[in-house]
Structure 1
Amino acid sequence: MIKSIAVIFHEHERKRNLPDFAIWHLARIWREQGLEVRFLFGTKKYLPADLAIVHVDLTVVPQEYIEFARRYPVSLNGRIKDIRKSLISKNRVFLDDGYEGPVIVKSELNYAGQPKRKLLRSALSRALFRMACHWPFKWPAGSHPEPYFRSPADYLIFRSPSLVPADWFGRDDILVEKFVPEIQDGLYCLRSFSFLGNHGICTLRKSRHPIVNLSTTIHREVVDVHPEIMKLTQALGFEYGKFDYVIHDGVPVLLDANKTPGAARDASYLAICAEWAKGIHYL
């Protein structure tokens, strides 16, 4: 039986930002149930626990965190080193590959690279990034290569690959994929499976906007997870996280695999966390 948990964050993660992560809300629930949950920042200090959760909010996890997690009897997501989208995508479009349908251009990195900008730059750059999050401004033209994505809300949809600049296909920081939406009653849909081990909860969000996120969602409900997505969490080595997917032409299509999912603050989300947190008792 698990009685103590260590959550391993990047050394530059800020404690005041932790409520922005789902794990913070799950930890609160576990503590209320009598479990001991400790937050560790970096790898310099080892605190014993029955189980560790690797929660380094980067697309590519530094090896030192993977090795540090091995010191624990059980480590969740301790095998996940790299979650670049090109490694999970089955719908990547290449230049002149014959596909002529709609495409979406997105960042190769998790959440449009925000975590990397938050954690891996110099102290001054990290401070400027945090300021920009609170007081957004428009970057001067030419200061970043186009397309520049501040968040997934900036991802671009084109009717055809022929409308995408040819040099974008060869970039290693962005990805061109087939745009395969799920549409119900004229609304775009996104399914999110939040899981811990073999237990989880799946929600369906609907939006009038083709890029479905918290700000564009007009309806949310709990649905059954597609069994193929459940199998995929295991095949990809995920033990904690959130998979976003759609059902397109009857087939589940994985859009994003996130090992450090973010959090909402509304009452319905907290109810989701209550169910999600139960997974700790099934490990």
Structure 2
Amino acid sequence: MDRNEHEHVIEVTDLRRVYGGGFEAVRGIGFSVARGEVFALLGTNGAGKTSTVELLEGLARPASGSVRVLGHDPFAERDAVRPRTGVMLQEGGFPSELTVAETARMWAGCVSGARPEGEVLERVGLGSKSRVRVKQLSGGERRRLDLALALLGDPEVLFLDEPTTGLDAEGRRDTWALVRELRDAGTTVLLTTHYLEEAEDLADRLAILHEGLIAASGTPAEVTAAQPSRISFELPENYFLGDLPPLDELGVTGHEIEGRVVRLRTHELQRAATELLTWARGAGVELRRLDVRSASLEEAFLGIAREASAHKTKEYAA
């Protein structure tokens, strides 16, 4: 099959997964991932991320809906899909007495068209550890080994489940650089992570799952744009909230005040900050502890969690 035959190498339609007892972990979601794209699947614990990824990897059959990876059903047509994908699990569980090189060699024997083990180990920064036993590796080094084994078959589609857990800051940045390199070479990457900075930095597009449904999706910029930016400062001495310019004229959509500290929310950050600073200059006062920041993916993520929690509270109250 030609590698360019399917523009979308992952296609999910109305996907559901139900466990024993009738618990519906995935409740009818849909998304697609284009070739050469990094797609991040995010969500709180129990949101359905792992349940979804296992269906994409062909480890289970959906209760209903469909999954297509490289044009095939990954469960029913596993032989057509598995040789063209790489999977990095949260924990590899490799024999502790084997060396790094022996582990890679053993895994290469299970992979079609495996690349040279030494080359892949060098690529993930483990070239100097080839003779070290797995049990002697640090947690971060074991994650690098997990990634190396996922790359042995030069996969067209790479599933990365929490790839930088246990890595230090340098290791995390090195892994990010490698993911970008793979994407630029045409590899499609589906990523799950608890590090929102990682998703914001790497993902071309993302979806945030909550209770088995997609609560938000799009590019990181599109998802964060739905959340307001923030301005916080301490009220000048002898001034009160009512002494500020009318908040609606600042483009402020909401506010809180805690003691002397005011927090404003706005979708027009430049306008609000400019008007506020112009007022302060005219009044001859200093806005101490001034903090002006755009919306982030973390705020969008927490906003979704808060909205869902508030909705649930209302349901209980009703």
- TM-score, normalising length: structure 1: 0.26
- TM-score, normalising length: structure 2: 0.24
Between Structure 1 and Structure 2, the one with more helix by share is 2
